[in-house]
Amino acid sequence: MALGMAPTIDWMDGTKESARRWFDRRAPRYESGATSRWRDPVQRASLEALDLTEGDRLLDVGCGTGAASRAAAAIAASVVGVDLSPEMIRRAGESAEGIENVSFGIADSEQLPFGDGEFTAVLCSKQSADGFAIVRGNAPLNPAIR
């Protein structure tokens, strides 16, 4: 460690399995924990920027416990939320019980299990300094988005 630098702790070893375990442990407090204070307003603004319509099919990548997916379901025709964490997805499904046009599944954002053109919009939430990505229309990000 260089002089003058604060010590850092590497909570995750950089593997997807480590990330999965980390988010599984945080799932019970995800929507009420400290990070929700900054994440939620950014997520709401990102959804507004998408300007969803009743005909949209939204893919929510890194959906966590599904708060944004549930909000989008009030507008969009369908919403699919995916996350690497099984516990996040379990809680997302429980929280969305009774919402007919939303579904959740475990998926790796680097290997999404969708075909070309299945979605008209994407919200990609991730816990990092570079924040959120939103995509509409034909995007080079992934052929599943049209």
Which CATH number goes with the domain that contains 29? Answer: 3.40.50.150
Confidence of residue 9 (pLDDT cuts 50, 70, 90): very low
Q: How many separate domains does the chain show?
A: 1
Spatial contact of 71 and 41, defined as CB atoms under 8 Å apart: no
Percent of the chain with pLDDT over 70: 71
**Assigned domain for 142 exists:** no
- State residue 3's pLDDT score: 46
Q: Is residue 10 part of a domain?
A: no
Q: Indicate the average pLDDT of the chain.
A: 78
pLDDT for the residue numbered 137? 54
Model confidence over 10-38: pLDDT tens digits? 444 568 888 889 888 888 887 776 766 66
Whole-model pTM: value is: 0.76
Any domain includes 7:
no
In this prediction, residues 91-112 reach a mean pLDDT of 93
Among 3, 23, 2, which Cα is nearest to 11's? 23
Q: Is residue 80 part of a domain?
A: yes
Tokens in use for 87? Answer: 């516990």
Highest mean pLDDT among 21-25, 102-106, 109-113, 115-119: 102-106
Range of the domain at 94: 16-136
In this structure, is residue 1 part of a structural domain?
no
pLDDT of residue 15: 81
